[in-house]
A and B are shown apart, each in its own frame.
Chain A
């Protein structure tokens, strides 16, 4: 059957399985990903199927995992690394930003770095500190890395395979609050290139753009707005670096209003980058300034405050109203 109804976590699992079956050089590395199947069970069953040299339960050391993945990639492997939680990625920061990202450049193109770093990220799960962060802007600022984030099971299944096929390092941000809801996955074709953004709901009055878990939040906001007579176009960014601006600029040409939504703090964020670029490229087409809806510029607070900290459909709609007021 070419369409399956799956949770996003299972879609990634099947995507990993397909990539590993297709290429014996693909191997998985991370903490607890083998026998346990990962704390989110994304790699469940793969160690049994492919063996302990294809699915490595590594020592508990993030820099060690990424640094040794670099060496394995030099040897011709295509490592797929799991960082257990977003807030645990920083011990690997040097290996990712100074080593992995710059290896191809340092070797003047003589060496490719086909390494994927999977990062379950974002909030809405009520967890303790360091388990709900959105660190993508740190990495988007680093030349040499590609960043993508699927918002739905279909994209997750295909994008993980495309990320593994890329000869450049790809950071794969998995919206962990979306791991469990099911969606249709067309197992026969992806439909979009890895770095394409995509209009997921058409509208005429205001454009919303975001990635990961924000996409379902934006669609929820669009439903509410429709009931109030406002037509919202929703764009799923999919690729955080590079950003595919064509669908965004076409949409803005139609609506004249853009709101960017993200779970990350707004200061020096991906949303800031999009806002600046759209202002530069579409100044005369805009009816209102591009507005950002972000988390607050505080550390991720204790879980009892996360509903206040994270933007929701109401905060998005508040920005939509402000955009329409110009």
Chain B
């Protein structure tokens, strides 16, 4: 009998016991047996933390919806929606410390927001104003690196960075509040890239203080995860010496607790590890995609029932959070989105000669010549107009 993939297309076999879950899709706090070792991390959270998680998820979903609308209205060339993946992102982001470095793929809008990036900067990227948008080394961005569009290539950058932390002796010093670690995000599709495998090799070889966080949203554009992997992705690192944990990525508590433990382990010299978060891209891959061509409505509806925000809302209401809180959060999110809309429409100005400014860090003869040529060329039209 041929080896059977443990994935059926689009839907994981989530029935097994390995997946760490604290909050069920119905919003009940009912930790799986596999959650036990992570519970001490969850127990550090307060009611205020739960509400903070909720506020972030709602805010960024509203932002994402606004950006999708702005794209449809011709304001953006492209949009990459994060709808559905807020649980995996918000929980893990709050599990990091300020000194940690975060290497995102390109859909990590919630993490960007939590780390202090003004989300208009992601809009600027998709409106064609920048290839990056923020300086990760500016303390206000808390080491949140810019997006990477070549799938998986940033895994190696994160590993190199983590090698540097280790060479600097900036981790495993016995001071967890100072010890540094790295977390890198990528999707199920990226796990097929050679660079991700090479990152596992280097991470294991140098025992980097590093967590690989796979957001398995089940679709790499139109290709299901069963094509990328014949085994569950949390086991992908094992052969490289990078052990993994599988979590319900739509459970923000599981994402927080498991990431917090993995990052603490990384900081305390236990080497690299991996988290596979089962989640789902409710929206399209990008605004140019049409998911109705490759996945069924039944599958979509099934995942909508597992929504990360809805389950936390049920939990919060059951534990006594007043309606007023939810109304406030939704109003704040609406205001946030309105502000993004206003600033998106107002975005103007990109000096054409700025393309020459940062190709190199040091003076370069071709940049000087071509900057001057362009200035003279532009000036020739002004002279013509005056003549």
A residues at B contact (CB < 8 Å): 27, 53, 58-59, 61, 63-64, 66-77, 91, 94-95, 98-99, 102, 104-113, 143-144, 146, 166-168, 195, 242, 244
Contacts and interface: CB of A to CB of B under 8 A. Distances in A.
Interface of B: 130-132, 135-138, 146, 150, 153, 155-165, 167-168, 194-195, 198-199, 201-202, 205, 357-362, 364-366
Give the one of B131, B153, B163, B199 with max A CB within 10 A: B163
B160 A98 contact: no
Given A74-B160, A111-B137, A67 B358 contact: no
A220 to B, nearest CB: 31
A242 B366 contact: yes
A72 B163 contact: yes
B150 A69 contact: no
19 contacts: A53-B167, A58-B205, A59-B198, A59-B205, A64-B202, A67-B153, A67-B199, A68-B156, A68-B199, A69-B160, A70-B160, A75-B165, A91-B194, A104-B361, A108-B130, A108-B135, A109-B357, A110-B135, A111-B137
A269 B361 CA distance: 26
Give the one of A59, A68, A143 with max B CB within 10 A: A68
B153 A59 contact: no
Contact of B153 (A74, A98, A109, A112): A98
Secondary structure of the B contact surface, majority rule: helix
Contact of A167 (B132, B159, B361): B361
A25 B361 CA distance: 18
A94 B146 contact: no
A75 B170 CA distance: 11
A75 B202 contact: no
A70 B365 contact: no
Given A61-B198, A99-B150, A104 B157 contact: no
Given A104-B359, A105-B358, A106-B131, A98 B157 contact: no
B361 A68 contact: no
A72 B137 contact: no
B201 A64 contact: yes
Nearest to A145: B360
A67 B365 CA distance: 28
Nearest to A27: B167
B150 A143 contact: no
A76 B153 CA distance: 20
Contact of A72 (B130, B155, B161, B365): B161
A71 to B, nearest CB: 2
Given A75-B164, A108-B132, A70 B157 contact: yes
A68 B159 contact: yes
A95 B152 CA distance: 11
B157 A67 contact: yes
A74 B364 contact: no
A230 to B, nearest CB: 32
Given A59-B201, A64-B156, A75-B161, A107 B146 contact: yes
A168 B363 CA distance: 10
A75 B131 contact: no
Contacts of A63: 156, 194-195, 198
A72 B150 contact: no
Given A71-B161, A112-B361, 20 more contacts: A67-B153, A67-B157, A67-B159, A67-B199, A71-B156, A72-B167, A73-B160, A75-B161, A76-B164, A99-B150, A104-B361, A107-B146, A108-B358, A110-B138, A111-B136, A143-B359, A144-B359, A146-B360, A168-B362, A242-B365
